[in-house]
Structure 1
């Protein structure tokens, strides 16, 4: 027997388990020779086919490629839709947000918060990330291993339409990314990149000084200010800011990964501009134009 399944049940589900794990080629190899990822694939496949009333998943999606992770999520959604309970332990915020309808934040062995995924995720970011702040982040004394010494970004601000720093923005509000840059020597062909990523770490917005605006790539020695105005098409949720400065030849001068977390609210500046749906699908509003008419 395997985890309560008798021999006939194992035989009936064996092909499905092996196919789901995607390790058919190595199924006859001794398990002690499996990599960590292979073991997790097989373990999840077995657990997912047990048809349990309660399924405990602990950081299992930290391994495997993107397609296998998506397959695991779809399988867990399928189990959940059957009325079964899934206890999902993870630091992957996007998956928690997609999969769960209740979330518990545990810190130092104690329950700190119990509520909806959106509320708990926001509080987790505030507790564990200095990056979730009031719209201003000083980096003047911070060390960055991804810096060549040619320049340093000393301060970052996210500004709302009123010009004041903040970390929560109205739905469809214009966001300005303000950088203060200390340049140590004259630079030619220099470009600044501002990127926005979702909770899963996927870049959903990219803006580059070399392709937009009048900036010609020349920066003299001294202090400089960069302003990037983003017409926000982001849907409600929590996002992260990435900053890169480099040369046209591909050399990176400084790279700041997920340096800043901020939130897009469901409410707009007026009732007409509010986000109108209870559930948020995706990360970006594509501003599609729809036309529906009677066919001729």
Structure 2
């Protein structure tokens, strides 16, 4: 049997990997949407200040996608409506394992985005420069809050995306065989022989 499969789209290679990863990616592309209208999903929180409206997931080329290569960027656009003037709101995106265990919190205020909003529609973009999650499927959730308060609006389990290709390092590693909990991440380290 084959140990390598190539996925083509419009005559270009979009994925080159194990048959399992490529087939799963092909199947999942047709079943989910990377542009999600949040109006159809349950919202939690009082919703006094902010209403989350839409989430779009994109790859590093700006194409909407639910499949990402390990080590490459993930970009999310979050559309919301601010109901009244608000000082320094916190906008966040949570990445969780398929069991719902939080892995990453991408939070606007933690990264220095300290802005004031007037009443109206806003579109935020957050980029994860390097997706270090092991191959597998992951949930995305969103929240928005007034500075210093609990979530004013949050939507969890919005959509699931998949990370494929298990060779982040320049050396053969086969990291997917170490993915047991769905919460593993790759972090580069430096090794040397001392004696």
Determine if the TM-score, normalized by the shorter chain, exceeds 0.5.
yes
Matches within 5 A, 1:79-158: 133-140=32-39, 142-158=41-57
1:160 matches 2:59: yes
Q: CA-to-partner distance for each residue in 1:124-156, whole Å, 9 max, x for gaps?
A: x96xxxxx7231111245552434142211110
Number of residue pairs matched? 167
Counterpart of 1:258 in structure 2 is 157
Counterpart of 1:288 in structure 2 is 189
Match of 1:200 among 99, 105, 108: 99
SS in 2 for 1:289: coil
1:212 matches 2:111: yes
Task: Return closer, same or farther for 1:220/1:273 CA change in 2, 3 Å cut-off.
Answer: farther
Bigger radius of gyration? 1
Q: Greater RCO between the two (CA within 8 Å, min separation 6)?
A: 2
Large movers: runs of 4+ above 6 Å: none
Q: Which structure is higher in helix share?
A: 1
SS in 2 for 1:211: helix
Is the Cα contact below 8 Å between 2:53 and 2:81 reproduced in 1? yes
Counterpart of 1:189 in structure 2 is 88
Q: What do you get for the CA RMSD once the two structures are aligned?
A: 2.9
For 2:193 and 2:170, the matched residues in 1 are separated by 22
SS in 1 for 2:86: coil
Give the structure-1-normalised TM-score. Answer: 0.50
Q: CA-to-partner distance for each residue in 1:71-112, whole Å, 9 max, x for gaps?
A: xxxxxxxxxxxxxxxxxxxxxxxxxxxxxxxxxxxxxxxxxx
SS in 2 for 1:164: coil
Match of 2:125 among 216, 224, 227: 227
- Structure 1: where are the runs of 5+ without partners? 1-117, 127-131
Counterpart of 1:63 in structure 2 is none
Is the Cα contact below 8 Å between 1:176 and 1:228 reproduced in 2? yes
Give the structure-2-normalised TM-score. Answer: 0.73
- Structure 2: where are the runs of 5+ without partners? 1-19
1:279 matches 2:177: yes
Is the Cα contact below 8 Å between 1:146 and 1:256 reproduced in 2? no
Q: Which structure is higher in strand share?
A: 2
Counterpart of 1:99 in structure 2 is none
Match of 2:78 among 179, 183, 192: 179
For 2:138 and 2:45, the matched residues in 1 are separated by 22
